[in-house]
Amino acid sequence: NEIKIFSPATVANVSCGFDVLGFCLDAVGDDMIIRKTNKKGIYITKIVGFDLPYETELNVAGVSALAMYETLNVDFGFEIEIYKNIKPGSGIGSSAASAVGSVFGMNELLGKPFNKTQLTEFAIKGEALASKCEHADNLAPAIFGGFTLVKTLAPLEILEIPSPDDLFATIIHPQIEIKTSEARAILPKDIPLNAAITQWANFGSLIHALHTSNYNLIQRSLRDVIIEPYRSQLIPFFGDIKKAMLDAGALGAGISGSGPSIFSLSKGLEVAKNVEGTISNVYSKTAIEFDIHVSKIN
Ligand code: HSE
């Protein structure tokens, strides 16, 4: 009657795939306990780690749970306990992990009536509460794992993209908060055609490179000429960190989601660990606190 689940952190955008591409981190995430209860409805009964609302309608995990619950015709309810490890506003899918965890757990307790795409549909409602717009580039990888491409939101269509065996991510999270809604507000409404051409060429070649495990092509495709120039200004020492990641051997680096976390991809655990050591030196020289995760992508 109860289940404990791990809801993973995720990296959205992956440089050239703004709002559509994302991947799942297996080393960091939230724990949640979902429990069936005799009382009808959805109740958030415990939140550990961060100060988040207990009111179901104001809580991301609660809103996605309600979206699913409203489609059910059952005489019981669910309690949700949230053990939050992913700091809200960190850029590694904190709200997505909450939104996904509740519906994933409920689905398990119900005997899996919903498929992964349907779970993502419910989770979009929770994510929208946090970021004030509907997007699924953090939700889809949290539910499907690996790399995912959100082809369309309406109707929701998600493509699973293969991950090369030896691909690792190193993520640094400076302890400042950037609200996704604010990081979206600073983006231009129109983009020049030549920038769009560069971006979709890189995006297409990145997808091809992931399918063919072509690390050299991954390296040459991880570029973002549209979003990064704006958002990087919100992240202290972004240029220094990115340079340090590339100097340490990473294939590429960029802003994770809407920041402030910065991700890099590397071929092999050894290089990913080398990146970890090198970038910790950059922030160690500043007053900014940070943490770093190294994760295989699968
Ligand atoms: N694609 C979204 C953005 C992810 O970059 O705004 C953040 O939630």
pLDDT in tens, the chain (298 residues): 999 999 999 999 999 999 999 999 988 999 999 999 999 999 999 999 999 999 999 999 999 999 999 999 999 999 999 999 999 889 999 999 999 999 999 999 999 999 999 999 999 999 998 877 888 999 999 999 999 999 999 999 999 999 999 999 999 999 888 888 889 999 999 999 999 999 999 999 999 999 999 999 999 999 999 999 999 999 999 999 999 999 999 999 999 999 999 999 999 999 999 999 999 888 888 888 899 999 999 8
Q: Give the list of residues 6+ apart from residue 185 with CB closer than 8 angstroms, or none.
A: none
Q: Is the CB of 262 under 6 A from ligand 1?
A: no
- Bridge-based pairing state of the strands 77-83 and 21-37: antiparallel
pLDDT (0 to 100) of residue 112: 97
In the annotation, is 180 catalytic? yes
Alpha helices in 15-138 (DSSP H): 60-69, 94-109, 116-131
Tell me 95's DSSP state.
Answer: H
Dist. CA 227 → ligand 1 center (Å): 10
For residue 252, the cross-strand partners are 265
In the annotation, is 81 catalytic? no
Q: What is the separation of C-alpha 139 from the centre of its chain, rounded to a whole number of angstroms?
A: 7
Beta-carbon count within 10 A of 56 CB:
18
Q: Is the CB of 90 under 6 A from ligand 1?
A: no
DSSP 21-39: EEEEEEEEEEEEEEEEESS
- Tokens 């429990």 found at: 35
pLDDT (0 to 100) of residue 149: 98
Beta-carbon count within 10 A of 5 CB:
17
Q: Which ipTM was obtained for this model?
A: 0.98
Give the three-state DSSP class for 196.
helix
To test ligand 1's pocket by mutation, which of 19, 127, 148, 230 has the most ligand atoms within 8 angstroms of CB? Answer: 19
Q: Is the CB of 12 under 6 A from ligand 1?
A: yes
User: Can you tell me the distance from the alpha carbon of 164 to that of 186, in angstroms, rounded to the nearest whole number?
Assistant: 34
User: Which residue, judged by its Cα, is nearest atom 4 of ligand 1?
Assistant: 257
User: Which residue, judged by its Cα, is nearest atom 6 of ligand 1?
Assistant: 258
pTM greater than the 0.80 cutoff: yes
One-letter amino acid of 179: K
Give the three-state DSSP class for 18.
coil
Q: What angle, 0 to 180 degrees and rounded to 10, lies between the N-to-C axes of helices 116-131 and 94-109?
A: 140
CB 9 within 8 A of CB 28: yes
pLDDT (0 to 100) of residue 272: 97
Annotate 150-207 with three-state secondary structure.
Answer: EEECCCCEEEEECCCCCEEEEEEEECCCCCHHHHHHCCCCCCCHHHHHHHHHHHHHHH
Give the three-state DSSP class for 237.
coil
Cis peptide upstream of residue 155 (ω within 30 degrees of 0): yes
User: Which residue, judged by its Cα, is nearest atom 1 of ligand 1?
Assistant: 19
